[in-house]
Amino acid sequence: MSTLRCEQLQKSYGTQMILNEVSFTVPGGKCLALMGESGAGKTTTLRMLAGLEIPDHGKVFLDDAEITSLPPARRSMAMVFQTASLFPHTTVAHNITYGMVKLGYSKAEIDTRLHEVAVLLNIEDQLDRYPGTLSLGQAQRADIARALIRDPGVLLLDEPFSSLDQAIKEELLSELRAILRVHPITMVYVTHSAEDAFELADEIAFLDQGKVMVQTQPEDLSRHPVSVKCALMMHPKLTIVEGEEHNGVWTSQGVTLPHRTRGMDGPLLLGILPEHTMPGTDFRGPLLGQVPSPSGILQRVSFLDKELLVHGTLHNNEVEFSISGDQCFLFDGNTGSLIL
């Protein structure tokens, strides 16, 4: 299992800097998820790891060997893209084995590896079919099989499940995780989904404007998102409400909420999750809808000109609820950085 490391990668297109000193390490057999908004530099980073682009500055290492300038074919890596890139004119089996055939592997080796990856990806009965007859999920399985057949040192995934429906995506994620438990491989996985990252990743590197803001375990990033952008990506049900802090009390449009004080007055953003709320009488808002969740039915209410998901008590078309200010995320109103 190979250890992947990149150091201070920089890349600009004209005057626009895409990557700004990106550095991280992925230990052998571990999975790192790259997360961030669109345009944060995730795919560009992945392409540099694969050798599809060369950085303006910085280095890429596989184990202790620098591979920054090596062409893709000389790197022990395989990449799977957002949509399957299968050759339409030939069978699934030929697609999967194409690279091994070009590199001169023996027929016995090719047949053995084809059988192994076909079993792993549950596509044994698809090998004689043509890509045009496959579903999106079957095509992605074939693409992943093609990436794994040569047993690469590193597997690079660029949102390969983003075009699949939820049920198929969950099935593929579960299968891939099971494969990795039995056949560990170093992996870098680009995703916008915190749920997907939790399923596959040992750590998450969060990118913002071409910089790695943090690299940590998914649970840590969920509890301590480094910024508003990070928090919204980690918690899709989060609501951010603008306000001011005065003497340890958050205030917005005449509404006040005590919280863990940061010891200074000024603009303060409150990040409220459904689990920060409970039935109570502190606040009341019109009901906008209801959302099922593992913890029960959530009420969608209007609160300070925002839509908020809460655990509350419904009275006619209004919801009464309370908010635990000590549990909410606090972000600096000027920078968007996490405070508490």
Query: Looking at per-residue confidence, does 300 or 151 come out higher?
Result: 300
Same domain for 242 and 138:
no
Helices (H), the chain: 42-50, 92-102, 107-120, 136-148, 166-182, 194-200, 218-223, 228-234
Q: CA 256 to CA 275: how far, in whole Å?
A: 19
Same domain for 250 and 214:
no
Amino acid (1-letter code) at residue 11:
K
**Across residues 144-162, what is the average pLDDT?**
91
Q: Is residue 232 part of a domain?
A: no
Same domain for 121 and 8:
yes
pLDDT exceeds cutoff 80 at 166: yes
Q: CA 41 to CA 44: how far, in whole Å?
A: 5
Same domain for 90 and 20:
yes
Residue 260: predicted pLDDT: 64
61 to each of 4, 56, 271, how far by Cα in Å? 6, 16, 39
Same domain for 151 and 42:
yes
Residue 262: predicted pLDDT: 62
Same domain for 10 and 155:
yes
Q: Is residue 229 part of a domain?
A: no
Same domain for 273 and 179:
no
Same domain for 212 and 109:
yes
Q: Is residue 337 part of a domain?
A: no
pLDDT in tens, 28-54: 999 999 999 999 999 999 999 999 999
Among 191, 224, 257, residue at a domain's last position:
224
**pLDDT above 90 covers what percent of the chain?**
74
Same domain for 267 and 122:
no
Q: CA 187 to CA 200: how far, in whole Å?
A: 9
Among 192, 224, 256, residue at a domain's last position:
224
pLDDT exceeds cutoff 80 at 155: yes
**Across residues 7-27, what is the average pLDDT?**
94
Rounded mean pLDDT of the chain?
92
pLDDT in tens, 252-298: 998 888 766 666 678 999 999 999 999 999 999 999 999 998 888 99
Amino acid (1-letter code) at residue 299:
Q
Q: Is residue 107 part of a domain?
A: yes
Residue 57: predicted pLDDT: 96
For 124, the token pair is 């044994």
Among 224, 255, 271, residue at a domain's last position:
224
Same domain for 181 and 43:
yes
For 4, the token pair is 């992947």
Q: Is residue 266 part of a domain?
A: yes
Q: Is residue 100 part of a domain?
A: yes
**Order of strands across the sheet that contains 313-315:** 306-310, 298-303, 277-291, 318-323, 313-315
pLDDT in tens, 312-332: 999 989 999 999 988 999 999
**Strand pairing class (239-246; 249-252):** antiparallel
Instruction: Determine the structural domain holding residue 194 and report its residue range.
Output: 4-224
**Across residues 132-160, what is the average pLDDT?**
92
Query: Looking at per-residue confidence, does 230 or 74 come out higher?
Result: 230
Residue 282: predicted pLDDT: 93
Q: Is residue 231 part of a domain?
A: no
Region of poorest pLDDT, from 18-32, 261-275, 297-311: 261-275
189, 157 Cβ separation under 8 angstroms: yes
As for how many domains the chain has, the answer is 2
